[in-house]
Amino acid sequence: MIISYREGCSGSWLAQLLTNPEIAYYRQDLAGTNIPTEVFHFDGHDDLHVPEAFAMYQGQEYITCHSSNYQLLRQYWPDKAIARIVPLTHVLDCIESAFFKLGPGTQCMSIDHALEYIKNYFDLHTVIDPRPTLHNTCIIDYGQLRYIDQLQEICKSLFKVTLSEKQQNFAQAYWNLQSASNRYFSAARFIFEYEHKHNFKESDRLWSIDHAPAEIAELLDFMQYQD
């Protein structure tokens, strides 16, 4: 099985869960963890990485990568099923994960900076990223990975794995760690969700984001829009 995913979608964690669930970390591909012997990982943002990776491939059961060129992946691994992790639900949680694991994270000191990050990644996940449509491909909803019963069903139906108690505890420990704190990101997320829900555009604002308070309790009174 090839597990393809954009950063923040917990692909490394899923591979660890399926093969060697020992210690859960906030970011599973770091913090001293090793890639299990059953997993072959390569970056794959550039199509050139795919043939380069194939030259180093040693027959591992799982391949994890960031490549979304599914035809190229199928060209090199014709017998491998391809699963793409996509945030069909909990998309902002997925964006928050990438923001703190690979983005500016706790060092971000600007609501505007955080809001642009959210907008860019929201477009990537919902508009730009291609979805696999080839034979023997499927989509895994990132949001469903967060719930043990839904995760159990995904693992059973796609990977033919029934999660043991150890695996379930590993999963729960990982998701319990998936939170971070940054008042600027929290404020930006609030603004994005509010504007997205009410279909407001930036041009509808009667306020400047440069002067927006970073405290959620103060934002609603501050955020005024033209009718």
pLDDT, tens digit, for every residue of 121-171? 999 999 999 999 999 999 999 999 999 999 999 999 999 999 999 999 999
Q: Is the pLDDT of residue 206 over 90?
A: yes
pLDDT value, residue 30: 66
pLDDT value, residue 31: 54
Q: Is the pLDDT of residue 32 over 90?
A: no
pLDDT value, residue 43: 86
Cβ contact 141:88 at 8 Å: yes
Q: What is the mean pLDDT of the chain?
A: 94
pTM for this predicted structure = 0.93
- Choose among 19, 45, 132: nearest CA to 80: 132
Q: What is the pLDDT of residues 56-105, one digit of tens each?
A: 999 999 999 999 999 999 999 999 999 999 999 999 999 999 999 999 99
Phi, psi of 29 (to 5 degrees): -85, 0
pLDDT value, residue 39: 94
pLDDT value, residue 180: 86
- By CB atoms closer than 10 A (0-12, 13-18, 19+), residue 132 is buried
Output b/e per residue, 118-130; b: 16+ Cβ within 10 A: bbebbeebeeeee
Instruction: Band the pLDDT of 33: cuts 50, 70, 90.
Output: low
Tell me which range, 20-29, 41-50, 181-190, is most confidently predicted by mean pLDDT.
181-190
Domain ranges in the chain are 2-222
- What secondary structure, in 3-state letters, does 155-212 show? HHHHHCCCCCHHHHHHHHHHHHHCCCCCHHHHHHHHHHHHHHHHCCCHHHECCCHHHC
